[in-house]
Amino acid sequence: MTNDTLPLILALGFANPALLYALAAASVPILIHLLNRRKFREVPWAAMRFLLAAIKKNQRRIRIEQWLLLAVRTLIILLVVSAMARPFLESLGAVIVGRRVHRVLVLDASLSMGYTSGGTGRFDQARALAVELVKGSRQGDAISVILMGRPPRVVIGPPSNNLKEVEKELADLAITHEGTDLTATLQAVDRVLGASTISQKEVVFLTDLQTTSWRPPQGADEGLKQALARIVARQPHSILFDLGEPNAANRAVTDLRLDVPVVTLGTSVLVRGVVHNFGPNKVDGLRARLTVDGRLSPAAAPESLAAGDDLPVVFRHEFTTPGDHVVELVLDSDSLPLDDRRWLVVPVRESLKVLLVDGSFKSEPYQAETDYLAQALSPSEVSPGQPSPVKVEVVGESQLASRELAAYDTVVLCNVAQFSQAEVSALEDYLKQGGGVVIFGGDQVVADNYNRLLFRDGHGLLPASIGPSIGDAAKKQAGYYFNPLRFRHPLVAEFQGEADPVTAGLTRVMTWQYHKLAPPKESKAQVALSFDRGDPAVVEWPHERGTVILVATSADTGWTSWPIHKSYPPVMQQMVLRAAAGRLTEQNIRVGQPYVRSFAETAASAPVTIVTPAGRKVTTKLDPDPKGRVSQLKFEQTELSGEYKLRIGTAQPVESSFAANPDPAESDLAKLDEAALGEILPGWKFIYVHPSDWKALTRDAASVGRRGELHRPMLYAVLVLLLVESFLAWRFGHHEPA
């Protein structure tokens, strides 16, 4: 239920009732008048009769003039004394303005509040309104301040009556590039109200009522209702200032990515971006530009973009130096410039380092488990002047524990019989650092060991449990074919649409034996390939900061003919690339998402400096991970979009970057109206201040704290009456004699 008017007035009160005794001063003009009448003694004389005749003629007029002057002078005294007593109008269900008020200001700081209208951003408008509310507060009132965000931030929790300091805090507030969590915001409001000992409470929201921010996600209704019910039970007076406008135009960069999961030197890659038109009208002459490390590429040709449509933009680029590179897609600025660009940090490697762990190492050619795989990943015959981007190192199973896995991008385990707890811990730590693990089956695999240490009932690094083997590779009489599942998964997507002879290199692979894999229910694991009998053949899933890929059959020709088919090299190369992509992914996060990254254990307690997109330096340190042999950085101040520069250590510092990008949903400026808000938050009574010129809203805001007070109009009336009294005294004293 909503209200757009103030509640009904019931009674008159006074903030300083003791001063009402001074109302007796109103009798002074009357006493003076009466005393003046007694000063004169009547003495009859001859000429007096002519004067008496004139006085009788004008007596009625003179008496009226004298009483009028007496009333004006008396009223002046009454008004001055009453104004000093600070009268107010007391209302039902609203703030009693003669008493202290705890006012909670809730400012929407989400990305959509950066929209500019009339030369002023919505957040700046909200901040100006909040300042006016503070200035309009009376002595004794207290203020709290909350920023809507994801999560919300309580800027001033305990109610503060130092209004000057509150104004300073408001001046320092800055917009974030996050979305909002309405339920968490209402919970924060409830906590602040609950901690206050001031009986009268008021909550003021300053927001653009963006639908994305105020319409709760599906499944969050119950928590929202509970938070709202607690606030309603505290009976605060609620006001909502709507700073949004319907049908606002906006277009934004909503996606930016590469066509490959890992980039190596000399590789020409496609940079793909997407621009979406969120506005109600078509946009003409839209231009997109790409910058790499601050160097601007030629702009794409101007395009037209219909309302609600996407515009794909593609650039080709070759990275010539290793290290982190910052790619940025930029549009010409519109009324919401915060979403007119998007960033991508690309770690470029000199080569992709892959460690192959052979569970049955043999020196004879193509007798070891990894021989076919090593040749597929790093072929001996390559194009002149074009070295293989993959560098392969092969070790035996016994050497796994002694290797520093962090030096490799992907670790491939081929028919390893079983693992020790130390080896499992090393693999877990490696995945925390964004590494990739590929596991092939085989005849030496001890399923119980894999399930106990690697799968751990769905809590370990394996995406599926290892069941009994299906088929008999010794006979090689009957086998199973791959089902590419319509080539949906990126591992095999390049075969989609190819001619039958090409796809046959994958679909006609014969597998004579494989492990029956069973991913847990509701798992995030994806099946890239299956067998024609329905069992998974290749399963991928994210674990920690890295990626694990499990292959049900062997990497050599012991259980399958795959290594001798033409599909084997491209799929294997794509497999190690996808497994290594975790380090690319971890350097690109969503705004507001904590940046978590693991490093070697030796880096623990090293000083860390992070420079935010706003140029602010934040100092922190790496902490030991209690669950592993790594050190961990967790940085939560990612409320701004753009590049964050990272420096670890002092003597030989490690320098890196990561990028934070806003949620594309924040670019949709569609908003709710008063009726829709009432449906989403039933039972909440609030005063809705309609959208209008924000300067007019500022004047309205300044009057909220003075609502119902009468001393100001009384003083204005005194000023007017003084002028009236002077004029009447002059006018009545200059009558022409009759």
Q: What pLDDT score was predicted for residue 668? A: 95
Residue 185 tokens read as: 């915001």
173 and 267 fall within a common domain = no
Residue 670 reports pLDDT greater than 70: yes
Q: What is the DSSP letter of 709?
A: B
385 and 297 fall within a common domain = no
Q: Could you give the CA distance from residue 240 to residue 678 in angstroms, rounded to a whole number?
A: 12
Cα-based angle 395, 396, 401 (whole degrees, multiple of 5):
85
Q: What pLDDT score was predicted for residue 92? A: 37
362 and 503 fall within a common domain = yes
In a domain, 1, yes or no: no
302 and 393 fall within a common domain = no
In a domain, 665, yes or no: no
Q: What pLDDT score was predicted for residue 16? A: 58
160 and 264 fall within a common domain = no
pLDDT band at 91 (very low <50, low <70, confident <90, very high): very low
CA atoms within 13 Å, Cβ hemisphere of 667? 25
> Of 320, 349, 378, which one is at a domain's C-terminal end?
349
383 and 342 fall within a common domain = no
341 and 363 fall within a common domain = no
Residue 365 reports pLDDT greater than 90: no
> Of 283, 314, 349, which one is at a domain's C-terminal end?
349
pLDDT band at 410 (very low <50, low <70, confident <90, very high): very high
Which of helix, strand or coil describes residue 98?
coil
Highest mean pLDDT among 190-199, 376-385, 691-700: 190-199
Q: Could you give the CA distance from residue 576 to residue 260 in angstroms, rounded to a whole number?
A: 12
In a domain, 97, yes or no: no
437 and 528 fall within a common domain = yes
pLDDT band at 46 (very low <50, low <70, confident <90, very high): low
Each residue's pLDDT tens digit, 560-585? 999 999 999 999 999 999 999 887 77
Residue 398: alpha-carbon gap to chain centroid: 48
The CATH code of the domain that includes 190 is: 3.40.50.410
pLDDT band at 8 (very low <50, low <70, confident <90, very high): very low
Residue type, 459: H
Residue type, 395: V
Residue 611 reports pLDDT greater than 90: yes
Q: Could you give the CA distance from residue 375 to residue 563 in angstroms, rounded to a whole number?
A: 10
In a domain, 263, yes or no: yes
Which of the pair, 477 or 304, is modelled with greater confidence? 304
In a domain, 529, yes or no: yes
The CATH code of the domain that includes 310 is: 2.60.40.10
Residue-by-residue DSSP string for 478-494: S-B-EE-GGG-STTTGG
Q: What is the mean pLDDT of residues 266-295?
A: 93
Residue type, 731: R
pLDDT band at 6 (very low <50, low <70, confident <90, very high): very low
438 and 570 fall within a common domain = yes
**Of 358, 354, 350, 348, which is closest to residue 391 (Cα–Cα)?**
354
pTM, rounded to two decimals? 0.77
434 and 360 fall within a common domain = yes
In a domain, 552, yes or no: yes
In a domain, 737, yes or no: no
Q: What is the mean pLDDT of residues 687-709?
A: 59
Residue 687 tokens read as: 């005063």
Which of the pair, 277 or 298, is modelled with greater confidence? 277
Q: What pLDDT score was predicted for residue 729? A: 78
3-state SS of 667-708?
Answer: HCCCECCHHHHHHHCCCCCCEEECCCCHHHHHHHHHHHCCCC
Q: What pLDDT score was predicted for residue 228? A: 93
Q: What is the mean pLDDT of residues 281-287?
A: 92
Q: Could you give the CA distance from residue 407 to residue 599 in angstroms, rounded to a whole number?
A: 11
111 and 18 fall within a common domain = no
Q: Could you give the CA distance from residue 496 to residue 489 in angstroms, rounded to a whole number?
A: 10
- Looking at every residue in the chain, the average pLDDT score rounds to 86
> Of 349, 374, 406, which one is at a domain's C-terminal end?
349
**Of 325, 406, 399, which is closest to residue 631 (Cα–Cα)?**
406
Are 620 and 610 within 8 A, CB to CB?
yes
Instruction: Determine the structural domain holding residue 361 and report its residue range.
Output: 352-585
**How many domains, the chain?**
5
Are 689 and 240 within 8 A, CB to CB?
yes
Residue 19 reports pLDDT greater than 50: yes
Q: Could you give the CA distance from residue 138 to residue 709 in angstroms, rounded to a whole number?
A: 10
Are 275 and 311 within 8 A, CB to CB?
yes
108 and 23 fall within a common domain = no
Are 18 and 74 within 8 A, CB to CB?
no
Residue 648 is inside which H or E element, if any? strand 642-648
In a domain, 667, yes or no: no
